[in-house]
Amino acid sequence: MKKVDEKTYYLDQQDIYEFLKNRPPILMIDEVYVQPGVTAYTSKTWDEGVWFFACHFPGNPMMPGVLQLESLFNIAAMPIKLLEGNRHKTTNVAQISSAKFKRHILPGEKLDISAEIIKFRRGLATVKGKIMVADEVCCEAEFVLVVLDDVLKVENGGDCHADDE
Amino acid sequence: MTNQEKYNKVFMEALEVDESQLMELEYQSVDAWDSVGHMNLIGELEDTFEIEMETDDVIAFSSYKKGIEILAKYNIIV
């Protein structure tokens, strides 16, 4: 992990492995620029030979929406994970408030993927994420990531922990 | 807005319930008051009343009525 400027860190895939439990093929990022607690950004180009284009759809390849969201979840976890004490904690998606898919993502297109932490408290991060190709928005979503280790048991209330993914 | 009104408003918005349900409201008595909903509720109350609850109080905050007792420890009288 390298410090790029006063607020920003650059992580390559080996660095990412230190923070995320995701592994290929359900790790959708190779590198990421992160401002802890604030934002994350990456770019990614999927070649036509990648596994999901072969089945989604034969003869008409486009990136599945669920994997677009997974890309956003991957980078959104990074600003939370880079906060002190969070590296080894588990983050899961707790809620998707909105998701819009405005444009197909085709093989060979360069994606600009970004996430902004709107609010983070009590282990809940409200995030806005966006995927763009050039100046066109492909996907926008707002969702909540939960830091499982920060979700507490409630007295006499039974199991208060969110389920692992 | 009184503290009572603020307290009720947080519950109604965070847990998507109406006023008639409040007095009997307990952790896990409605779908929205699950583990994640609990932390959201606590966060909203902390913002509204400008306090930070101790961990023991977050854990003990198991009902609408119990929450009134807990807030009193922070000099918030509902």
| ipTM here | 0.79
| Phi, psi dihedrals of residue A164, rounded to the nearest 5° | -70, 150
The C-alpha atoms of residue A99 and residue A88 are separated, in whole angstroms, by: 28
What pLDDT does B12 receive?
Answer: 98
Residue A91: list chain B partners with CB under 8 A: none
DSSP A132-162: EETTEEEEEEEEEEEEGGGPPPPTTS---PP
| Catalytic residue (choose from A56, A88, A104, A161) | A56
pLDDT of residue A153: 66
C-alpha–C-alpha distance, residues A106 and A133, integer Å: 10
Look at A154 and B36 and tell me if their CB atoms are within 8 Å.
no
The C-alpha angle with vertex B20 and arms to A98 and A157, in degrees rounded to 5, equals 70
Contact call for B28 and A161, based on CB within 8 A: no
One digit per residue, the tens of pLDDT, for chain A of length 165 reads 999 999 999 999 999 999 999 999 999 999 999 999 999 999 999 999 999 999 999 999 999 999 999 999 999 999 999 999 999 999 999 999 999 999 999 999 999 999 999 999 999 999 999 999 999 999 999 999 999 988 876 765 544 444 333
Question: Is A155's CB within 8 Å of B60's CB?
Answer: yes
- pLDDT score for A152: 74
Determine, for residues A162 and B40 on separate chains, whether the beta-carbon distance falls below 8 Å: no
Between chain A and chain B, the number of residue pairs with CB atoms below 8 A apart is 56
Separation between Cα atoms, residue A29 and residue A41, nearest integer Å? 10
- For B35, the closest of A144, A156, A161 (CB atoms) is A161
Q: Identify the H or E element spanning A99.
A: strand A91-101
Residues B18-62: pLDDT tens digits?
Answer: 999 999 999 999 999 999 999 999 999 999 999 999 999 999 999
Give pLDDT, residue A158.
45
Which of B16, B35, B70 best probes binding to A when mutated, by most A CB atoms within 10 angstroms? Answer: B35
